[in-house]
A and B are shown apart, each in its own frame.
Chain A
Amino acid sequence: MNCIIVDDEAAARAIVSQLCSNVSNLNVMEEFDSAIEAIKFLNQFKVDLIFLDIHMPGFTGIDFIQTLKNPTKIVMTTSDTEFAIASYEYEAIVDYLVKPITQERFNKCLQKVKNSSSAISARASDGSNDPEGGASVEDLYINIDRRLIKLKYGEILLIEAKGDYINIKTNTKDYLVHTTLRKILDKLPEDRFLQIHRSFVINFNKIIDIEDNSVLIEKNVVPISRSNRSELMQRLNLL
């Protein structure tokens, strides 16, 4: 089983790494002191398990979970039991370890990971989930050079107006389509897509972070206009 450790505290990472080394068939692929770095890694590599600290400055463990594209089992690690209830709202979370973690408790946790019937993997294998881990597949067909190309909503990162065209950015490719931002916005689900600037519509589920007047979507920094800012802020699940 391949895992990664995400914690901003070096001592905490060293402890989890040591706990892992005492268990056979558990390989620590990488350790990260920031959730953003871990997300970049997960965009390239598949892991079976993530040990994730909840309480990290800026981008928390909960923010991290919300940006995960692929369902992966997660074990939360933290000093605060008060976060436990919130963390169990997420299906991917298998267990919750309170620091300092003992080997005995860690071993029980791994047993739990192994025993977890993994609705997550089941969904992944039957192909019924979209890239965001949602339950349903919803598509949009775009017309490019007389070809209709199917895009899943979950693939779309953002859409940018380019004169008479729009540029649909996905993880793998950009699509230039002859239409307007307004027309495509009407075709997309309101709960997932939001116009944050006169030239930009974003997939709300792809937000990594928001800083001042811009949003980070994967590697794209997208401006937020003053008039759209309040709607964006209202839709955030702010602490």
Chain B
Amino acid sequence: MSQTGIVVIDDEIQIRKLLEITLRSNGYQVSPAATAGEGLVAVANHSPDLIILDINLPDEDGHQTLMRLREWCAKPIIILSVVNNEEDIIRALDNGANDYLVKPFRTGELLARIRSALRNAALEEDTPVIRCRELEFDLAARVVKRSNELLKLTATQYALLVLFAKNEGKVLTHQYILKEVWGPGFADQLQYLRVFVAQLRKKIEVDVNRPEYIVTEAGIGYRFVAREA
């Protein structure tokens, strides 16, 4: 099996070096690029499995690059940036980024995010069964089991949980979730989402206060995590 390829687009040479070493030693094949232009070429040439993209690039705004990439590339994109404000993060996620990590980052965290983005990408479209640790989703039968036990869920709870599972490892913004589950008119009704997330956590988490499945991204949204054993 060929190695998983990652294109790193970042203008800082130190960061490129660091990522090259880190990723290579974890078995990924790395193609670094210093500008948006080089990056687009690298993605086109190498067709990587994942792209790590900086927002501050010398030749183009990274948001722009992200949108251009998304026109023809469906592979997971992780934004890695010093920009740490909620607007930029939400904008990047709305423009199709799978994840957003702020520099300085912990290596372990970056690797976990990469694995989870790759796993999500590997999920087949229209797969009838999704497994996330103890949870098993049977989308055809519209049931969710936890350790082989049927979970009793209301229609909304089910819709929310399935949305999470289908986007495992991806940060979903509050607005996106509200639109998908409740409808476009509910985009700013965060209170509904908070209530239902609390209810779901009671049903699926081992410790409600240390959620392992539905993780809060402060001020941004939620991420559904299925860490491999």
Physical interaction between A and B? no
Which residues of chain B have a CB within 8 Å of any CB of chain A?
none
